[in-house]
Chains A and B, each alone.
Chain A
Amino acid sequence: GAGVSQSPSNKVTEKGKDVELRCDPISGHTALYWYRQSLGQGLEFLIYFQGNSAPDKSGLPSDRFSAERTGGSVSTLTIQRTQQEDSAVYLCASTVKVGELFFGEGSRLTVL
């Protein structure tokens, strides 16, 4: 595919359950970002991967959130023991040129 692919596009879960969100970046893109966007709000930075370097995790809101990027390509964002305030659209972006991000369509998470 030509663009950033995210799955699932929609996820409904119960409070306390764990969820995994997947991001397939554009082939060859060395940098990968995760953001989240609550309803009617702007984008909140979560985490940034660049090549094989240690990720910038400064935006992760709590230790329930974690992310990994395997083989410098696919990334998984994991939220443990989900809470209702975790409900949001989780957006992934990749780039090879600093600042020019290509975003996926997002994964909409609803925690009941």
Chain B
Amino acid sequence: DAKTTQPTSMDCAEGRAANLPCNHSTISGNEYVYWYRQIHSQGPQYIIHGLKNNETNEMASLIITEDRKSSTLILPHATLRDTAVYYCIVRVTPISGGYNKLIFGAGTRLAVHP
């Protein structure tokens, strides 16, 4: 049911920016893009979300293309502690009534190395 496509794995040098891409070419106009990460043996952690505008918070920046078919999560200065699986999720919006739920795909395994 995942509506997103992400690379299986990526590497990044410590201190450099990590740019994690996500393709969501079938996204609907009212569907949000969410990013979570999961550090080994922990529950997932919410990072950021957006609809059409770029977003930034203390953890990361989210760049969404104008056509909204893809997005990039940017960790500006990656540290070893950022090594994790990063999930890009399009929130499933029910057509009529129902509930919102997040469907997690396989994610991108980011390895930050010294």
A residues adjacent to B (C-beta < 8 A) = 4, 33, 35, 41-45, 48, 50, 53, 56, 91, 93, 98-106
Contacts and interface: CB of A to CB of B under 8 A. Distances in A.
A56 B49 CA distance: 23
B99 A99 contact: no
A73 B60 CA distance: 32
Interface of B: 2, 32, 34, 36, 42-46, 49, 87, 91, 98-107
A99 B100 CA distance: 8
A41 B107 CA distance: 10
A80 to B, nearest CB: 24
Contacts of B98: 56
A106 B44 CA distance: 10
B46 A102 contact: yes
Contacts of A104: 43
Contacts of B99: 48, 50, 53, 56
A91 B36 CA distance: 14
Contacts of B44: 43, 91, 93, 101, 103
A100 to B, nearest CB: 5
A92 to B, nearest CB: 8
Given A42-B107, A45-B101, 13 more contacts: A42-B106, A43-B44, A43-B87, A44-B104, A56-B101, A93-B43, A98-B100, A99-B32, A99-B49, A100-B34, A102-B46, A104-B43, A105-B43
Contacts of A4: 43
4 smallest A-B Cβ distances: which pairs? A103-B43, A43-B104, A56-B99, A42-B106
Nearest to B104: A43
Nearest to A92: B43
Nearest to B36: A101
A83 to B, nearest CB: 23
A42 B87 contact: yes
A98 B2 CA distance: 18
